[in-house]
Chain A
Amino acid sequence: MIEILRVIYSSSLLQMRQSFARATFRFVIVIQPIIFAFMTYMMYRGSGRENYLAYVVLGTGILSLWSAITFSSAGDIERERFMGTLEIITATPSNFQLIIFGKVIGNTILGLMSMVITFVFVAIAYQVQLTIEHPVIFISSLLVSLLSFMGISMLMATFFTLSRNARALMNVLEYPVFILCGVLFPIDILPLWTRPLSYILSPTWAVKILRESVLGIENTNLFMINVLILLAITGIYFIIASISFRKIDKQTRIKATLGVH
């Protein structure tokens, strides 16, 4: 057990050190949230909504978290492949799934940093005091949401390990999720055919429960249902990721996709 925890701990630490050493990632973590916050503030200012700053903070926070997780989890596999370390880490006695899980935790922690930067920026720049209606529920919702984002990250990591053309996919994934999951606008305004896509993406449910726990829960039953849906989708992500990880050890060696030679 200690060995497993060590692998996860040292992989997440390595991930954070590696990521933070890159200027692009520092931009994604520190500068981008501020730009997002400014843009969403300008958009929401004239919306006439009460407590619109909560929308700004939450929307931007989730945007930043998502960016950090997708950008890093996807790009890192590719980077490791080009550095030649992907082959090395897969050939160690440690479970590759645990190594990636550690890396995803590292990314999530950095993503959270991004969220905090957004909170601080909005609070200082717009001189507002942000109120959270249900702090305990908010923290619990945040934890469930983070778990869900980690599930997506693990799932994506399996695709990126198997495919050498995954880099394109990484760039495609970031923006549509903002729209499809209702991070800034309600999904009700989107065409009906996009709805199934929104529903299978866990950020849609994460946004709902986070927003309600900040602004106030109108219907407890509905809130609980949303939490359960989020947990179920997250569970499915982890199950598919785990099955995929078991398969990729063999598949990558048959397809010879671990290195670039």
Chain B
Amino acid sequence: METIIQVENLMRVYDSTIGIIKRKKIKVNALNGISFEVKRGEIFGLLGPNGAGKTTTIKILTTLLAPTSGNAKVLGYKAFGDEKKLRPRINFIFGGERSLYWRLSGRDNLLYFADLYKVDKETRKKRIPELLQLVGLTDRADEKVESYSKGMKQRLQIARGLINDPEVIFLDEPTIGLDPVGARDLRKMITMLSDLGKTIMLTTHYMYEADELCDRIAIIDNGNIVALDTPQNLKKLAKGLAVLELKILGIDKMKVDEIKAVPGIATVTIKQEDQVQILQIQCEDPSFMTQKVMDILSENEVIGVNIREATLEDIYLKLVGGKL
């Protein structure tokens, strides 16, 4: 199958400063030489915690950012160098409510971008109503974007991203901030775009979203790809692992470090839910480990213990070190 996106040893370093009076220049490595390929028609997911390098990768591929070194090609064109040839054939959608002209109507936004993407009059006349229909905004198309809900703005962004009928679509955390129904609708739309033959690359930090949508997933952390496979194969990494889950009131870092040091424990992560902390311990023999952990937590108030099989999310947590 034809390779559409080709990334080789891609690096990006940002210059930044620290301090207010004595300013010191520092370099921040966002990408440390990542490599991957995406085939035609694939939905490829970049999954990782905040600051992992997902958006940087997307921005380089969409010609918005220059790589520090390495190669990034889309449709055979260099993302930095051949942008004139590349830009008409790709488009991108960023999550959140920005990237639209709020004081214009939805239709006027689409008309403006149709002009910028040099869509001819005839095509535009046909395409804009079709896109509005596709994203379910026909009835509200002439209202100002500022009156739209978050979900509607996201849907309008999808329409904007399709204005030039791109071959490759990049989506950066497209469902961020959406309610469950809005997020589900958006995922349906992404699947539909894939059915139309578009190559899609998306970033997310929602494991289930990547699992549901993607043909392949690259898990990225600290600018490195730590795993790259199909969701099915990634799930196999969970084989043999189980998760011991404890609900605790007030656990300190020393206790967590003590648990981490117990031989046989793969990872320890903590989630805060209201006033309760949920300690997730990945290990091979949770029944045996329960007693050991309870001994360490003898002075803490443990209000619930649960043992379950590891899921894809646990694999993700294991790979990115519990930084979800």
**Cβ contacts under 8 Å, A21 to chain B:** 103
Q: From B12, which residue of chain A is reached at the shortest CB distance?
A: A256
Chain A: number of interface residues, binned into ranges: 20 to 34
Known A17-B104, A261-B55; contact A87-B99, beta-carbon cutoff 8 A: yes
Q: How many A-B residue pairs have CB under 8 A?
A: 80
A74 in contact (CB, < 8 A): no
Contacts of A3 in B (CB 8 A): 118
Q: Tell me which of A87, A93, A254, A261 contacts B116 (CB under 8 A).
A: A93
Assembled-state Cα–Cα distance A3/B64 (Å): 23
Of the candidate stretches A6-14, A29-37, A39-47, A209-217, the one touching chain B is A6-14
Which residues on the A side are within 8 Å of B98 (C-beta)?
83-85
Establish whether residues A253 and B101, one from each chain, have CB atoms under 8 Å apart when the complex forms. Answer: no
Determine if B44 is an interface residue (Cβ-Cβ < 8 Å): no
Grouping DSSP codes into helix (H, G, I), strand (E, B) and loop, the A interface class, with mixed when no group exceeds half, is: helix
Given contacts A17-B103, A83-B99, A85-B100, contact A91 B62 (CB under 8 A): yes
With a CB–CB cut-off of 8 A, which chain A residues contact B164?
93
Taking a contact as CB atoms closer than 8 A, the residue among B96, B103, B111 that contacts A18 in the complex is B103
Pair A93/B84 contact, Cβ less than 8 Å: yes
Is the pair B88, A91 in contact by a Cβ cutoff of 8 Å?
Answer: no
Chain B residues with CB below 8 A from A249, complex form:
83
Q: Does A250 contact B (CB under 8 A)?
A: yes
Q: In the complex, what's the smallest C-beta–C-beta distance from A207 to chain B, in angstroms?
A: 34
A89 at the interface (CB under 8 A from B): yes
Q: Is the CB of B64 within 8 A of A258?
A: yes
Pick the contact of B115: A10, A84, A91, A254 (CB < 8 A).
A10
Q: Which 5 A-B pairs have the closest CB atoms?
A: A84-B98, A84-B99, A92-B116, A21-B103, A253-B66
5 further A-B contacts with Cβ under 8 Å, apart from A10-B111, A253-B80, are A18-B103, A83-B98, A90-B64, A94-B117, A258-B64
Q: Can you sample 17 A-B contacts with CB below 8 Å?
A: A6-B115, A7-B116, A10-B115, A10-B116, A14-B112, A17-B108, A83-B99, A84-B99, A87-B64, A90-B64, A91-B87, A93-B84, A250-B66, A253-B65, A253-B66, A255-B15, A256-B14
A residues near B (Cβ < 8 Å) are 3, 6-7, 10-11, 14, 17-18, 21-22, 83-85, 87-94, 99, 249-250, 253-256, 258-259, 261
